[in-house]
């Protein structure tokens, strides 16, 4: 029965993903530049994550274990509106893995409450709540990952995770380094469908929604396929 349910959902997600792909391609072409269709304006930084491990076992090694990681980050504005106009802000995180691989996490500004965590929320300043919005599939069930601001400037965040209806549990801290060896907005492309953090898998319907849209955005700006 579950397979019979999943197939129509995956099919609908594929149709929706292809529709988004067409929209992203048109938006990207209209921008007339190598900028992304969404989140065209951004800033690339380095960050340092200190992990102490989640208080309950999620089944995801990166969330459950302790350690430190030096990450590549990109803060961005989804529509590209200039400051001081509010926009849905994005925080992309590139996590180094073994064998010169990496995993990508994409977070966007949302609320932090029970319903607010599933709703995008425009913000003016970088020090806001960032959340994956679409849950990840983990060995212990659906899981959300978020970054909660510690300061208004967005240089320090508490990294947390939660089941769909549960409370946030801290698993680490993110410090955004003040300097970067990148330009103001280096052409770095993040893709959580292709670059998976082990244990944080996309549900099939979520992957279908994203896969076509990301590919169309890359084609529109002439980026190399990944």
Query: From CA 113, how far away is CA 93, in angstroms rounded?
Result: 23
Instruction: Report pLDDT digits (tens) over 127-173.
Output: 999 999 999 999 999 999 999 999 988 999 999 999 998 999 999 99
Helix (H, G, I), strand (E, B) or coil at 99: coil
Q: pTM of this prediction?
A: 0.78
Q: Which of 161, 94, 158, 91 is nearest to 126 (CA)?
A: 91
pLDDT at 3: 46
- Residue 108: phi, psi to the nearest 5? -135, 160
Retrieve residue 208's tokens: 């279908």
Locate the domains of the chain by residue range: 37-220
Instruction: Report pLDDT digits (tens) over 77-132.
Output: 887 777 788 999 999 999 999 988 999 999 999 999 989 999 999 999 999 999 99
Kindly indicate the confidence band of residue 38, based on its pLDDT and cuts at 50, 70 and 90. low
Q: What's domain 37-220's architecture?
A: Beta Barrel (2.40)
Q: Which of 143, 146, 139, 138 is nearest to 165 (CA)?
A: 143
| Contact criterion met (CB below 8 Å) for 186 and 44 | yes
């Amino acid at each position: 029965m579950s397979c019979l349910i999943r197939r129509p959902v995956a099919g609908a997600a594929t149709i929706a993903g292809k529709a988004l792909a067409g929209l992203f391609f048109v938006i990207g072409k209209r921008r007339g530049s190598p900028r992304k269709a969404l989140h065209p304006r951004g800033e690339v930084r380095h960050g340092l994550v200190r992990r102490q491990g989640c208080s309950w076992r999620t089944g995801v090694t990166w969330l459950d274990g302790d350690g430190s990681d030096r990450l590549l980050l990109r803060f961005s504005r989804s529509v590209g509106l200039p400051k001081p106009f509010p926009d849905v802000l994005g925080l992309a995180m590139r996590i180094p893995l073994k064998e010169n691989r990496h995993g990508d996490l994409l977070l966007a500004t949302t609320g932090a409450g029970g319903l607010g965590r599933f709703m995008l929320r425009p913000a003016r300043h970088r020090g806001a709540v960032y959340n994956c919005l679409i849950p990840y599939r983990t060995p212990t069930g659906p899981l959300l990952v978020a970054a909660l601001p510690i300061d208004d400037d967005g240089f320090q965040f508490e990294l947390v995770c939660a089941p769909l209806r549960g409370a946030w549990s801290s698993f680490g801290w993110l410090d955004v380094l003040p300097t970067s060896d990148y330009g103001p907005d280096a052409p770095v492309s993040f893709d959580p469908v292709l670059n998976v953090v082990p244990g944080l898998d996309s549900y099939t319907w979520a992957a279908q929604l994203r896969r076509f849209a990301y590919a169309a955005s890359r084609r529109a700006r002439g980026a190399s396929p990944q």
